[in-house]
Amino acid sequence: MSTAAARRIVLVSPDRAFAQEVRSAFATSEATELVTVEKPIAELRGELQEADCGVVIIDMDASRIDQIEALQRVMRRLDGRAPVVVVTQEFNAAAVRILVQLHVADFLVKPITTADLVRSCIRAMHGPGRAENADSQIYTFMPAAGGVGATTLALQTAWQLHHSISRPASTCIVDLNFQQGACAEYLDLEPLFDITEIENQPERLDRQLLDVMLSKHESGLCLLAAPTQPAEMRTFNTDVVLRMLDLVSAYFDNVVIDLPRTWFPWTQTVLLGSNKLYIVAEMTVPCLRHTQRLIKAIQETVGKEVEPQVIVNRFEQRAFDNGVKQADVQEVLGNYFAGGIANNYKLVREAVDRGVPLQAIDANANVVNDLKRIILPEEAASPKKKSLFGLPFMRKSG
């Protein structure tokens, strides 16, 4: 692709007023060139193939089957040569799920500001294949049972990513356990995310409002968490959760999600949007069995789009008792076993009580190093040092 083509943006829209707004937005930019195709996506015949470009904007109705099918054809024909940004009037779980599965670079819901559209196109230009690690990386932690330490590992992962030597980046933790979430308490922060503010109008959540609702830790980590309601089992519209995650992932390099055990209507879409999915289990027979069932449920629900990995917390080598042994864990989990985290209850309890990361107490603790081997294998301890139990804890790197 030539330099001129790389900065060329093609807009496909039957909406003349919208097309004019977009032309005005890009007119002042010397870094981009806008080409408009004023027709519905279903009427495209070869215009996109002929117009070599860096980004394609498609204005469509995501609730119409014929337009979704037309988008599928466009994605096949482009074959990854240019990222696609979708603008739609529909914002529902079904439409979002399809757009995620089609791997569009971004999707925006009308009414939108032209500034948001310009930023989206710029991010898309530096997306996969254009700049290494330019896209937000989403790490999701799902507990296999209660009390397995998923929140602790999620927070520790966020801290390691934020302070990584090889890939330091802005990081946000998102606590999706609206009933019993503990991320704010673990970091000694006040949860500021007021879901009622956007519950009926998710499109109101923009960068400015998001910034107001973020809790900021002294380490530089940001947290998006709502005040918990232990006595109130609330379910929220999928659109609210998706809008929140879409905005967070647009403005942070790393997003770490702490999922609740309960499976909600939006859980499937969160899983589909994750780059890494870690199931956190513990070394007991009931938990390992439930982990197997959870892996099967994920496969049946989202298929091969998501490949879960299992982290066994409080992992202990047991060679001479009748409990679960290391070999049992590996046999039960097979290739899904990502690694084990040492049992260091005293260290974890002190970190939680003080509201600080584990490193603040002991930067070389076994828990810290074990998790780093899984999350940041390139920064793990020297190969000369043996892992906690004398075996590599990674099924695969990256």
Query: Do 3-125 and 137-379 show the same overall fold?
Result: yes
Cα diameter, the chain: 75
The partner residues of 143 in beta bridges, in order of sequence, read 280
- What does the pLDDT look like over 173-224, one tens digit per residue? 999 998 888 999 988 899 998 888 887 777 777 777 888 889 988 878 899 9
Q: What is the pLDDT of residue 321?
A: 59
Q: What angle do CA 345, 215, 239 make, to 5 degrees?
A: 105
Residue 150: both structure tokens together: 């998923």
Average pLDDT, the chain: 80
pTM of full prediction above 0.85:
no
Q: Dihedral sign, CA of 218, 126, 257, 211?
A: positive
Question: Percent of the chain at pLDDT above 90?
Answer: 24
3-125 maps to CATH 3.40.309.10: no
Residue 388 has pLDDT above 60, yes or no: no
* CATH architecture type of domain 137-379: 3-Layer(aba) Sandwich (3.40)
* Per-domain residue ranges of the chain: 3-125, 137-379
Residue 146 has pLDDT above 50, yes or no: yes
Angle of the 238-251 helix axis to the 93-101 helix axis, nearest 10: 40
CA–CA dist 373, 389 (Å, integer): 13
